[in-house]
Amino acid sequence: MTQKRKAYTLIEVITSMSLGMSLMGLAIGLVHQSMTIKSISDQRARHDRNSQRLLDEFRKDVHAAVSCVMIEDGIEISLPAGKRIEYVSQDDRITRMEPLTEDRIRREAYELSEPFFAQFSIAGDPSQAILTIKCRCGNDGERVDRQAIVRVGR
């Protein structure tokens, strides 16, 4: 004659709870890892968008320019009719300044991600302006992320 059980033994309860906790720990680890990867991916996508907007605007300005000269922290682009545009680089931020009137200046800021920075230069032939976005790569030094070599007045 077999006896019907009406409850679980203590060992069965402890075993099922241990398995459930192990599975929950693995699930939490996977969720955390996927959130970290998404955060890194979002940051890189934001950097790519800002870098591309900056390069596009720089190309457009230099193509419309008459001349370009280096200034202290950036480059000044002279346009026809005496207009000028300045690009100033401060660490991971580039500011484009375009005077609209004597007292109004249009400012547009481009934020780069943490290890990235921008450098402006003019090629040996003064008809080319160069914008280089570089990455500080720890002990490896610097590497070029993006670069635009643009002919003035093209």
Residues in the chain, pLDDT under 50: none
Q: Is 120 exposed, middle or buried (0-12, 13-18, 19+ CB in 10 A)?
A: buried
Domain coverage including residue 75? 50-151
pLDDT at 103: 87
Count of the separate structural domains present in the chain: 1
What's the pLDDT score for residue 112?
A: 87
Name the pTM for this structure.
0.77
- Evaluate whether residue 106 is within a structural domain: yes
Q: Is residue 8 assigned to a domain?
A: no
Spell out the alpha helix ranges (H) of the chain.
10-63
Q: Is 30 within the bounds of a domain?
A: no
> Would 18 be classed as within a structural domain?
no
Q: What is the pLDDT of residue 7?
A: 84
Residue 1 confidence (pLDDT)? 59
Does residue 42 sit within a domain?
no
